[in-house]
Homo-oligomer: A and B are copies of this chain.
């Protein structure tokens, strides 16, 4: 019995492979590498001391997925595969809807065909849109998303709920990630965005390592303690552990389980810069520029439901997020291409 991990070569996928191995799960990985590098899987192999079964393929390719399910006895799926750049999703919405929505539909169809009915899905706090208050609980309204990327996450959540209604044998966990940062303690795997990073932490790290001249901070006039946007940064290794917990609990759930994965702590952009400077000993130059369309002031989780249902909570603080990011970035200034 194996776990199929789609999008396993990506940032969160690669870290989750390590956690799965450590928890004793056998897995097969499936990735089209459109936005990731097979090198990440090679490095995971070194960390876990074991060869990974890797199938290169696209989740929209029914035949390829069908072959994986025919070849391996797949018991459950952790579904990371999807495009994830907010700005790009605004420019190319059809590509995002096709990859994320259509890809998920094909995956679900093949799962049904092979009677595999357990899935853990990579959702996002973006489904909450601009929350009326913080911390954010799982029962807050969803759907008022601000970009196509976010809408793909919301739509897939709804599709999965409909699948459950149509067939109560499905066991579905929706994990709503807050802001993943950090890297494996080895410093050999981490976040390796293509081109200009969309997310704060890789931008900070690339600025600290000298790849970028300065960091643009989008908005200094939000209603937060220092005017910059507040987010719930969560260490990717904690996040990976959440997936393992979800798999361990999945047989006992009797509803679509929807869980925030966050720390419950909100840090501003300036907080993160300062923490990163302290940890790395490097100065991070920044400029406060105009707000970015679609950004919100504050977003952080109420993580209590994750504790209650998955017996999971974040264990790694801001210092470790920064030091692990710095360890990865300084050892791999060009990511997997170095």
Residues on A facing B (Cβ under 8 Å): 90-94, 97-98, 101-102, 105, 108-109, 112, 143, 148, 151, 155, 158-159, 162-163, 165-166
Contacts and interface: CB of A to CB of B under 8 A. Distances in A.
Contact of A93 (B98, B151, B165): B165
A7 B91 CA distance: 29
A49 B159 CA distance: 44
Contacts of A92: 166
A105 B112 contact: no
A98 B90 contact: no
Contact of A155 (B90, B108, B155): B155
A98 B105 contact: yes
29 contacts: A90-B162, A90-B165, A93-B159, A93-B162, A93-B163, A93-B165, A93-B166, A94-B105, A94-B109, A94-B112, A94-B159, A94-B163, A97-B105, A97-B159, A97-B162, A98-B102, A98-B105, A98-B109, A101-B102, A101-B105, A101-B155, A102-B102, A102-B105, A143-B143, A148-B162, A151-B155, A151-B158, A151-B159, A151-B162
A85 to B, nearest CB: 14
A242 to B, nearest CB: 27
A101 B97 contact: yes
A65 to B, nearest CB: 14
Given A93-B162, A148-B162, 18 more contacts: A90-B165, A90-B166, A91-B166, A92-B166, A93-B163, A93-B165, A94-B105, A94-B109, A94-B112, A94-B159, A97-B101, A97-B159, A98-B109, A101-B155, A102-B105, A143-B143, A151-B155, A151-B162
Contacts of A102: 98, 101-102, 105
Contacts of A98: 102, 105, 109
Residue from the set A94, A108, A112, A143 with the largest chain B CB neighbour count within 10 Å: A94
Contacts of A143: 143
A144 B187 CA distance: 45
A264 B151 CA distance: 32
Residue from the set A91, A102, A108 with the largest chain B CB neighbour count within 10 Å: A102
A102 B155 CA distance: 13
A91 B109 CA distance: 14
A151 B151 CA distance: 13
Contacts of A151: 155, 158-159, 162
Contacts of A148: 159, 162
Closest 10 pairs (CB-CB, A-B):
A93-B162, A148-B162, A102-B102, A143-B143, A98-B105, A93-B166, A155-B155, A97-B105, A94-B109, A97-B159
Contacts of A108: 94
